[in-house]
Structure 1
Amino acid sequence: MGAHPVLRYLRSERPDLRADVVAGLPGAISSVPDGMACAVLVGVNPIHGLYASFAGPVAGGLTSSTRLMVITTTTAASLAAGSALERVEPGDRPDALVLLTIIAGVVMVLAGIARLGRYTRFVSHSVMIGFLTGISANIFFGQIPDLTGAQASGEFPLAKALDVVLHPSRIDVASLLAGLTALGILFGLSRTRLRAVSALVALVVPTAIVMIVGADSVARVEDVGQIPRGVPLPHLPSLGLLSFSLVTGALAVAAIVLVQGSGVAEAAPNRDATVSNPNRDFIAQGVGNLAAGFFRGQPVGGSVGQTALNQAVGGRTRWAAIFSGLWMLVILAAFSGVVGLVAMPTLAAVLVFAAAGSLRPGELRTILRTGPTSQIAIVSTFFATLFLPVAAAVGIGVTLSLLLQLNQGAMDLKVVELKPAGDGRWIEHPAPEVLSSHQTIVLDVYGSLLYAGSRTLGVHLPDPAGAEAPAVVLRLRGRTAVGATFVKVLADYAAALHAVGGRLYLSGVDHGLAELLRRTDRVDVSGPVRVFEASELVGESTAKALNEAETWAVGHRGDVPDR
């Protein structure tokens, strides 16, 4: 009798299990500074980042289809959460964070169930790079006050950074030295074997120095709030904090996490060559957020850095991510009391280093060289992220992606003339601007015929005005879905041909499209428009349409004298 399906699903071979237990420890250690730093971005006690670093990898690892994906705190999701909670009173922010995380988790689970994974491809690469670059810039500028120990004011991170620069007397020298020491350690260890623990070293060494020299002016984590000792217990959210801004913030977090998660899945393919399921990964990230929320954690998602580390240290199955969460639970039980002693400038240094490392100068150069459309997309999204709330920037980015998609589809449309070359072959020529009297022409179309593309088609079709009894064969092979705009353009062109005694023939028409045209009252397929459905033999219906069009043209040649 076989094993239970759940046991088969989670089962690992013993050698893999040992490797995954070992691989999980570096992930847990590196998650300590990462989780704390992400909580700083949200504006809450760093313990919430550590709680999420325990719950997210365990719950997400049990359900993801990308087996090495580590679902934990990310800077982008943290910044989005912080933006959503910006106007929440500090005392209510932890409970509001829990509610936001759970709402985001529900949205992600529903997105996966609704199979919305395919729609992530509609967010253009230019928009995503512009958004991520803006996120990196916000993180960098936003940490300048903590890095320097200066009090700063401003409505957005860049304004706060400028306030520090313009008032250098506010900088605390001890805090600045602690932050710069941490940055030096991070850069110094980044190319060594200690890279995986460099962030932890950057927290411990400067903090120890601060404690030894008695630099009381340097802020510590415990100044942000009391650090609970021991392991977290489940916690139900307070629905009294539910608001419109909280819901829109959760939607922004979900959008960011889902798109980033798709990128993580591409970068970490399964070792057995099975293809990742984006919808299942959506659900896994949603489950990770639900678990993080119920254990008082913050939003989590597929982490590029933690997943790369998981691969680098020898993770083999989903258990590597799960064990990183379980190791984090051990760290919380044994060392949670030490967390409060960490110097805040060192956390700022970790974030500044992460922001600098996430920049992609090569991709930025490539996008900026690919033309005005990509340039507009990346620059617009970057500045929207820099100066607007993250939820608004995400909305602008998604809208801009859709508009660029529609515009590109319309711009790429091309109409060509096909002339028979014998043996079922065709020669392609540029389409004429006007039709000639008593002549038959075959046209083919490249590009999208939805929305603006249909209107562009109407502009590029040869003008029948001035011609007498022209016949046009329009090849539509492969077009399975069209909209009302296309039907209108088709009806208008058929009417223009009919006005000069001409006729329109449609070839290669999909059966479903043919039925749609027959149902509509805009296109008279029994009169001035003739429809030839596609067959398995490519070009057969077009040849039939051309033959009938030429026969019709010959029959009507004498009806109207040539000009």
Structure 2
Amino acid sequence: MAALSLAGLLIPEAVAYAGIAGLPPQAGLVALCFGLLGYGLIGQSRFAIVASTSSTAAVLASATASIAPGNPQQQMMLAAGLVLLTGVLFAGAAFLELGRIADFIARPVLRGFSLGLGLVVTIKQLPHLVGLGKTPGVPLETLMDVGTRFPQWHLPSLLLGLAALALLFGLSRWRRLPAALLVMGLGILAARLFPQAIPDVALVGRITLNVARPDIPDLDLAQWERLGELALAVMLMSYAESCTSIRSTALRHGDTVDPNRDLWALGMANILSGLFQGAPVGAGYSATSANETFGATSRAAGMLSLAVVLIAITTLLPLLAFTPEPVLAAIVIHALAHNLNPRPILDYFRLRRGRTLAVSAALGALLFGVLDGLLLAVGISFVRTIMDLSKASVSRLGRLNHGHDYVSISQFPEAREEPGILILRADQPLYFANSDRTASLIRQESDASDARIVIISLEESPDLDASVVESLAELAAHLAGKGKTVYLARLKPEAHQVLSRAALKDLGEAALIDLSVDGAVHLARRHAIPADSASG
């Protein structure tokens, strides 16, 4: 039952997403078949359904249009090459065991991009919904064009599309019902039996399933190089969505999944789809969630869905040509309805974290197109991460309630500093971008204090690069010149090891302490007693 219900959702979505990608309907059906086959043979998740997705389709359309605008035949070849390279990148990432690559895209970026993508695709479907046909341009231009051409709207198309939308949302309460297939079937019946009731409504048209023999597109080196850059964006977007879908269902059911195995499966599916001129594939949110809801318990549901799809497209394909375009637009809009929920973005505003990334991703997709919007959002994410990591701050620590805990005095005014000892903590992990500024702050605190012993806690730094080692050497030399002794506390094994290898003149092995701050205080006092006694 899960397989039958799933096939009823996947067939109309495959045709619709092919249209989003700017490809003929057969490209979506080819991608659907090879996606189900590739993941069914190699993948591990019980619920993941690999097929064309709205996000990869939109990215593909934007990418090919930017290289060969106004040349559909060239765009077809470029699309096949892009899908093929996407599969090769997936396989390469699996070979290098880069299963966590999607972690480099922050969740606010994904949430914002998902909202922006939903708006972009929905806007692109509006011309079909109101009977204006395909409208070129970025989303805002399309929206303005549809609005200014209000007198030209085709009323029967609009009414048919709105009726299909209402029916889809009405049937959505019965999750096991193949609502998309039922609505598509009703649309086909209306077009075949009652054409006078919906006059001049545009139809999808004849769908030919002449599966080409596997072939590598004939492109020049410059085109392959450009496609390689774009394929990386498609791969990251596809895997980010796929990984999130797979992980979320696995967590809900206590399953374990191997990210690298999923990379192999996605690579195989995209390579096969590209060789046979299909669309890019991934484990989309809607299909994977639907498979779970329909009651699937193993990967057999996906493979049985493949069998149902093959039977349907070999026997019922001529009927799909009579699908009204407004009905297909309604199916796409309904499939993206979950993307249009702004609640995840509003949560970031409540947390006051991640809102810039989420809004940038959404606006980037709307203003600059899907591909450039994604790259912009990812770029902002990396810049924000680097800026956060490069911050430099130092806290003065004191003993809390005569215990063993040393805490920031600015946060706990009741904490007391140790007599004759200045204890400082570098609040960010030290690396080349913030080491000099952190050392300068420590120098300022030390010069302003009468303490002869300075303990620096490096608990936030798991490792130290060469720039940090040089900054610490200069700091230790400066403090030694002021007659102060420096100890480094809470050193992680890697940090201790690199400092030991450095053999710094003013930071001997005795000054490198793996212990807590409390242990460092006791050790420093024991070392200081002989020197104080001798001077006395």
- Is 1:114 the equivalent of 2:114? no
User: 3-state SS of the aligned residue for 2:65?
Assistant: coil
User: 3-state SS of the aligned residue for 1:463?
Assistant: helix
The TM-score normalised by the length of structure 2 is 0.88
* Structure 1 pair 557–219 and aligned structure 2 pair: CA distance change class (3 A): farther
- Is 1:44 the equivalent of 2:27? no
Query: Partner residue of 1:547?
Result: 525
> Gapped runs of 5+ residues in structure 1?
1-21, 559-563
* Structure 1 pair 359–529 and aligned structure 2 pair: CA distance change class (3 A): farther
Query: How far apart are 1:326 and its partner, in Å?
Result: 2.5
* Structure 1 pair 295–154 and aligned structure 2 pair: CA distance change class (3 A): closer
Contact 1:439 1:470 in 2 (8 A): yes
Query: Partner residue of 2:61?
Result: 82
Residue-by-residue CA offset, 1:324-343 (whole Å, 9 max, x unaligned): 22221121111122222211
Greater shift, 157-166 or 110-119, is seen at 110-119
Query: How far apart are 1:489 and its partner, in Å?
Result: 3.4
Which of 174, 182, 186 aligns to 2:164? It is 182
Query: How far apart are 1:260 and its partner, in Å?
Result: 0.8
Contact 1:28 1:327 in 2 (8 A): yes
**In 1: Cα distance, 2:6 partner to 2:418 partner:** 75
Query: How far apart are 1:519 and its partner, in Å?
Result: 4.0
**In 1: Cα distance, 2:456 partner to 2:215 partner:** 62
Query: Partner residue of 2:155?
Result: 173
Identical pairs, percent: 24
Contact 2:395 2:424 in 1 (8 A): yes
**In 2: Cα distance, 1:200 partner to 1:267 partner:** 26
Contact 1:58 1:323 in 2 (8 A): no
Query: Partner residue of 1:504?
Result: 486
- Is 1:100 the equivalent of 2:78? no
Contact 2:422 2:449 in 1 (8 A): no
Query: Partner residue of 2:203?
Result: 220
**In 2: Cα distance, 1:156 partner to 1:555 partner:** 79
**In 1: Cα distance, 2:395 partner to 2:97 partner:** 35
Aligned residue runs from structure 1 range 22-421, under 5 A? 22-87=1-66, 88=68, 89-151=71-133, 153-192=135-174, 196-211=177-192, 212-214=194-196, 215=198, 217-222=200-205, 226-229=206-209, 232=211, 234-240=213-219, 242-269=223-250, 273-371=254-352, 373-410=353-390, 415-419=395-399
The TM-score normalised by the length of structure 1 is 0.84
* Structure 1 pair 530–552 and aligned structure 2 pair: CA distance change class (3 A): farther
* Structure 1 pair 431–527 and aligned structure 2 pair: CA distance change class (3 A): farther
**In 2: Cα distance, 1:80 partner to 1:243 partner:** 17
**In 1: Cα distance, 2:134 partner to 2:518 partner:** 73
Query: How far apart are 1:38 and its partner, in Å?
Result: 0.5
Contact 1:509 1:532 in 2 (8 A): no
Query: How far apart are 1:360 and its partner, in Å?
Result: 3.1
User: 3-state SS of the aligned residue for 1:385?
Assistant: helix
Query: How far apart are 1:45 and its partner, in Å?
Result: 0.9
Query: How far apart are 1:486 and its partner, in Å?
Result: 2.5
Contact 1:533 1:541 in 2 (8 A): no
> Gapped runs of 5+ residues in structure 2?
412-416
Query: How far apart are 1:438 and its partner, in Å?
Result: 9.4
Contact 1:441 1:471 in 2 (8 A): yes
Whichever residue aligns with residue 439 of structure 2, its letter is G
**In 2: Cα distance, 1:451 partner to 1:323 partner:** 55
Contact 1:68 1:270 in 2 (8 A): no
- Is 1:491 the equivalent of 2:485? no
Size of the alignment, in residue pairs? 523
Contact 2:396 2:408 in 1 (8 A): yes
Which of 434, 438, 441 aligns to 1:457? It is 438
**In 1: Cα distance, 2:48 partner to 2:98 partner:** 19
* Structure 1 pair 525–74 and aligned structure 2 pair: CA distance change class (3 A): same
Query: How far apart are 1:229 and its partner, in Å?
Result: 4.3
Contact 1:471 1:553 in 2 (8 A): no
Query: How far apart are 1:530 and its partner, in Å?
Result: 5.3
Whichever residue aligns with residue 227 of structure 1, its letter is I
**In 2: Cα distance, 1:174 partner to 1:272 partner:** 46
**In 2: Cα distance, 1:542 partner to 1:172 partner:** 80
User: 3-state SS of the aligned residue for 1:221?
Assistant: coil
Moved over 6 A (4+): 420-423, 555-558
**In 1: Cα distance, 2:301 partner to 2:320 partner:** 25
* Structure 1 pair 475–79 and aligned structure 2 pair: CA distance change class (3 A): same
User: 3-state SS of the aligned residue for 1:65?
Assistant: coil
**In 1: Cα distance, 2:226 partner to 2:370 partner:** 11
Residue-by-residue CA offset, 1:250-272 (whole Å, 9 max, x unaligned): 22110111111121122211898
**In 2: Cα distance, 1:465 partner to 1:482 partner:** 25
**In 1: Cα distance, 2:351 partner to 2:141 partner:** 32
User: 3-state SS of the aligned residue for 1:269?
Assistant: helix
Greater shift, 307-316 or 271-280, is seen at 271-280
**In 2: Cα distance, 1:466 partner to 1:444 partner:** 16
Residue-by-residue CA offset, 1:493-543 (whole Å, 9 max, x unaligned): 2233133222321133344323322444xxx633356554556x7568624
**In 1: Cα distance, 2:525 partner to 2:117 partner:** 61
* Structure 1 pair 265–450 and aligned structure 2 pair: CA distance change class (3 A): farther
Residue-by-residue CA offset, 1:112-140 (whole Å, 9 max, x unaligned): 22222224223222111111111011011
